[in-house]
């Protein structure tokens, strides 16, 4: 049997898993808040929305591990979607993720140098992109309306939007 490590900070005891989850949640929340500051009426999500022309696309969310311990991303799912399905989930260690809230790409994991989620953890003070590649399921336009990243059993919503169309303006 393994002992669960916990720490008391200011009279509050937290487990290692909880601290890692909070560190990643803080990173995602900060990324979302910073990106939202630059929003305009035409793009209220301030850069957290994108459009790609074609049948497939990749959303890569930048996260930074501030927990002091390695963090393993357990999963990435679509929060809400129409006309698309996930074909790949990956993690790409990349210092650019520290300053980049989200990237929209057409090259999938190869464009970012990603690996399967279970192959690598995000080490302390390291930045990474957590990504999904989606494909349209028919001729109609496809839309991803948010992602959910799971770390240590806790789901973290990420308010990103991606439209897959025949042509983008």
What's the pLDDT at 33? 38
Report whether pLDDT(42) > 90: no
In terms of Cβ atoms closer than 10 Å to its own Cβ (0-12, 13-18, 19+), residue 59 is buried
> What is the SS3 assignment for 16?
helix
As a whole number, mean pLDDT of residues 151-164 equals 91
Report whether pLDDT(169) > 90: no
* Residue in this structure with the two tokens 């990474």, named with its chain if needed: 128
Domains contained in the chain, CATH given? 13-38+45-165 (2.60.40)
What's the pLDDT at 152? 79
Contact 157, 146 (CB under 8 A): yes
Give 1-34 pLDDT, tens digit per residue. Answer: 444 444 433 343 445 555 555 555 445 544 443 3
pTM for this structure? Answer: 0.76
């Amino acid at each position: 049997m393994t002992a669960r490590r916990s720490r008391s900070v200011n009279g509050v005891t937290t487990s290692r898993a909880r601290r890692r989850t909070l560190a990643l949640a803080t990173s995602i929340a900060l990324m979302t808040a910073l990106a939202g500051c630059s929003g305009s009426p035409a793009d209220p999500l301030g850069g957290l929305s994108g459009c790609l022309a074609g049948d497939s696309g990749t959303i890569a969310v930048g996260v930074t591990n501030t927990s002091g311990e390695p963090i393993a991303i357990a999963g990435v799912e679509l929060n809400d979607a129409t006309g698309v399905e996930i074909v790949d989930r990956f993690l790409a260690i990349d210092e650019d993720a520290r300053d980049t809230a989200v990237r929209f790409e057409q090259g999938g994991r190869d464009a970012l140098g990603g690996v399967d989620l279970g192959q690598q953890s995000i080490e302390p003070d390291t930045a990474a992109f957590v990504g999904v590649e989606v494909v349209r399921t028919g001729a109609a336009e496809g839309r991803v309306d948010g992602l959910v990243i799971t770390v240590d059993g806790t789901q973290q919503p990420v308010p990103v939007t991606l439209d897959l169309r025949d042509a983008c303006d």
